[in-house]
Amino acid sequence: MHIFDELTYINNTSLALGFFDGLHSGHKVVLNNAVHLAKKNNTTSTVITFKNHPQTLLANYKTEYILNNDEKLRMLEKTGIDNVVMLDFEDISNISAKDYIEKVLVKYFSPIAISTGFNHCFGFNKDGNSKLLQEQSKTYGYKYYEIPPFVVNGEIVSCTVIKNKIHLADFFNANKLLGYNYFFESRVEHGERIAGKLGFPSANIIYPDDKISVPFGVYFVRTEYMNKKYNGILNHGYIQRNNSKVFKTEVHILDFDKNIYGENIKISFIAKIRNQINFNNADKLKEQINRDIAFIEIYKHFLNEERKNKNVPDGN
């Protein structure tokens, strides 16, 4: 897959337009359509997207992402897309919708086809939409494909809905809409090794500040290290240290005994186990961790039954 950070000439390509945060199951229909049309017409497929969400400029607030750009690019490559053009939204934010079609899409890409979601908007003041793309297809000779809403269990898949579910720690339903388990990646940092003294060694990690905020609590997660996946318990939030509270994100990886300080790991959220509890007694803390492990075993059985009915994604 070729990646470009500015407009470049890619003639006679099959375009897919959108920001594609999350690359959820609805986005994949748009992308798969672009790839299919490219193969059918013996040409390339190209995604035009942006480095930062347009709302960052238009609404002047910090956007929380489901995927950062590196994660998005890796997932785009898996879809079979040939080219990705990542633009600075600010550079084209003042272009009218018609000029965007003529002076960007047609001039640089001479598209044979354009695929978008049903709610795709573009151009200054969002004055461009599916209707305009369809109308202009007759002028410029491309075929336009508007992908209708993608529905999972009666719910339209959208980034807004998914983000709301993640904010509520409803990972069972968020992951169904995504088509994979929501995740983040982090480097393992040195910690105080307090959990290790209790028999439950944990890896200290940092939750990225550009990703969707997750409620404080204790979670059933899947940890990936060196292409192998392990179940784990993630504690995310403030913990008591002497007379003060310290913010920490740490994961106890089950059936794992490797030294991974300084290594990168991937954490995928499966379910919230409980809210945080402060323990003054080490024995009570160990009892609770054992109960958390028991929860994971029960929840794994539940997920296996759900997968038989194809109601949940099978990993990332």
Q: Which fold has domain 2-149?
A: Rossmann fold (3.40.50)
How high is the pLDDT of residue 195? 53
Chain centroid offset of residue 255 CA: 27
**196 vs 226: CA distance, rounded Å:** 22
How high is the pLDDT of residue 238? 85
Question: Beta-carbon neighbour count of residue 311 at 10 Å?
Answer: 14
For the cut 70, the answer to whether the pLDDT of residue 198 exceeds it is no
pLDDT band, very low/low/confident/very high, at 218 (cuts 50, 70, 90): very high
pLDDT band, very low/low/confident/very high, at 308 (cuts 50, 70, 90): confident
How high is the pLDDT of residue 192? 64
User: What is the percentage of the chain residues whose pLDDT exceeds 90?
Assistant: 75
**238 vs 107: CA distance, rounded Å:** 53
- Range scoring the smallest mean pLDDT among 22-26, 83-87, 201-205: 201-205
Q: What is the pLDDT of residues 228-247, one digit of tens each?
A: 999 999 999 987 777 778 88
Residue spans per domain, the chain: 2-149, 182-308
Chain centroid offset of residue 1 CA: 19
The residues with which 185 forms a beta bridge, in sequence order, are 266
Q: What is the pLDDT of residues 2-17, one digit of tens each?
A: 999 999 999 999 999 9
pLDDT band, very low/low/confident/very high, at 199 (cuts 50, 70, 90): low
Please state which CATH class domain 182-308 belongs to.
mainly beta
Q: Using an 8 Å Cβ cutoff, are 177 and 165 in contact?
A: yes
For the cut 90, the answer to whether the pLDDT of residue 54 exceeds it is no
pLDDT band, very low/low/confident/very high, at 122 (cuts 50, 70, 90): very high
Total-model pTM: 0.91
DSSP alpha helix (H) spans, the chain: 25-40, 54-58, 69-78, 89-92, 97-99, 107-109, 130-140, 159-167, 171-178, 194-197, 282-308
What one-character DSSP code corresponds to residue 105?
A: I
